[in-house]
Amino acid sequence: MRVLILAFGTLGDVRPFVALAKGLRAAGHEAAVCTAEGFRSLVVGAGVDYVHMGNEMLDLVRSEMPRMAGASDALRLVSRMSAAMRSALLDQWEAACEFKPSLLVYHPKMLGGLHIAERLQVPAVVSLPLPFLTPTRAFPIPFVAHWPFGGSANKLSYQFNRFTAVAYGGMINSFRRETLGLSAMSRWSDYLRFPDGRPVPVLYGFSSHVVPVPEDYAAHAHVTGYWFLDEPETWHPPTELVDFLAAGEPPVYIGFGSMGFGKHTWTRGQIVVGAIEKARVRAVVATGWGGLELGSPPDGVHVVEAVPHAWLFPRTVGVVHHGGAGTTAAGLLAGRPTLVCPVLGDQGFWAQRVKDLGLGPAPLPVRRLSVGELADRLSMLGRNASYRHRAQAVSEGLRLEDGVAKAVGILEEIASTNAW
């Protein structure tokens, strides 16, 4: 197979796709990743071929994420994405022309994937690490935090997936006609089906140990297990961080990744510091894109911009984060109790899964952060034996999986049986 992977998102979103490409190459296939230029070094460093895509979408995400404090900010970002998406569509087509794939794997936000596959007459697979695309009665679409209406309403909530066609249908049709030479599609089209009505296969890079596969899942939806990417052997931790870890009890990790706090970076930072001091714990705090401002941190607090989760999390007593799919997976693989402080999107879904599995205390949404509530939960992370034992059990289950190998096998089957 020659597999072109169209990947979108922040670092945590792109890493699993690089792991998949690496697994495909190890199985004897040719694979390349087309993603923002800002991730070229990540792709190449993993020994995977990189195909160019501009940084316009990534730059927009990076500039807007630190200002985000809720859903209204996310909608503002969507409204500003159109020009960047147009450019990305052309990059995706050029990448396909350059690589000449026999199969396409694409994130649903890479809007060219389905249409490029139609133009090239090759199989396509849509993929992401959360159960977002396949209707089920078991739970609502993960962007809906609270939906107490039962099974039928749960399944109906997945009609949200038609938003792409409604919001970006004009842009996509221009791309189809002017670039690909294809006919236009209805603005009410289902972009999860091929033109002949067949469903597009879905590859989910999450674990059934964390989200059990619903009984009513369609046969074309495949849950493989997580796709973890090892750090390159050339990476070494900062000496200051190593010294801090060696100087006392294991710390908690606190970081909110690419999530920002609007104009409240200083306020949130002071809440975090106050909670650490009140809980009397040591902590490693990652500022990330969100730019938490801590000023001069007190003793027992070490500040970093970012550190590979796979290295740091096993050296902590527990992890506190925003609930991104990749960060959640890393904490569970490390077997550490977890507190999720969701901001928006699917983060509330992962927060609820962590709580329901007994892996940590009740979620604490960022908008409700306070010194007292955060301190109480920080204390629980290191002292609740039940959280620790359950987290270790889930970790053992994840380590027995080989999500990448399973995904490669599914792609091989699709390639051999799913002719256009």
> What pLDDT score was predicted for residue 253?
97
Bridge partners, residue 3, by sequence: 31, 103
Domain boundaries, the chain: 2-226+401-417, 239-399
Q: Taking a C-beta distance cutoff of 8 angstroms, is the pair 251, 281 a contact?
A: yes
Q: Taking a C-beta distance cutoff of 8 angstroms, is the pair 186, 367 a contact?
A: no
Q: Can you spell out the DSSP letters for 364-404? A: --GGG--HHHHHHHHHHHHH-HHHHHHHHHHHHHHHH--HH
Q: Which of 286, 235, 289 is nearest to 58 (CA)?
A: 289
- Mean pLDDT per 10-residue segment, the chain (420 residues): 94 94 97 96 95 86 61 60 86 97 96 96 96 95 80 89 82 95 87 89 97 96 96 84 95 83 72 94 86 80 92 96 94 97 90 96 92 95 93 96 97 85
Q: In this structure, what token pair is assigned to residue 154?
A: 């749960």
- Dist CA 181 CA 200 (whole Å): 21
* Letter string b/e over residues 251-269, b meaning 16 or more CB atoms within 10 A of that residue's CB: bbbbbbbbbbbeebbeebb
> What pLDDT score was predicted for residue 378?
95
- By three-state DSSP, how is residue 315 classified? helix
Provide the CATH topology of domain 239-399: Rossmann fold (3.40.50)
- Dist CA 300 CA 128 (whole Å): 38
Equal fold, 2-226+401-417 vs 239-399 = yes
Backbone angles phi, psi at 274, to 5 degrees: -60, -40
Q: Which of 192, 194, 212, 37 is nearest to 131 (CA)?
A: 212
Bridge partners, residue 33, by sequence: 5, 50
E runs forming strands in 99-179: 103-106, 124-128
DSSP 289: T
pTM above 0.85, yes or no: yes
- Dist CA 277 CA 275 (whole Å): 5
Provide the CATH topology of domain 2-226+401-417: Rossmann fold (3.40.50)
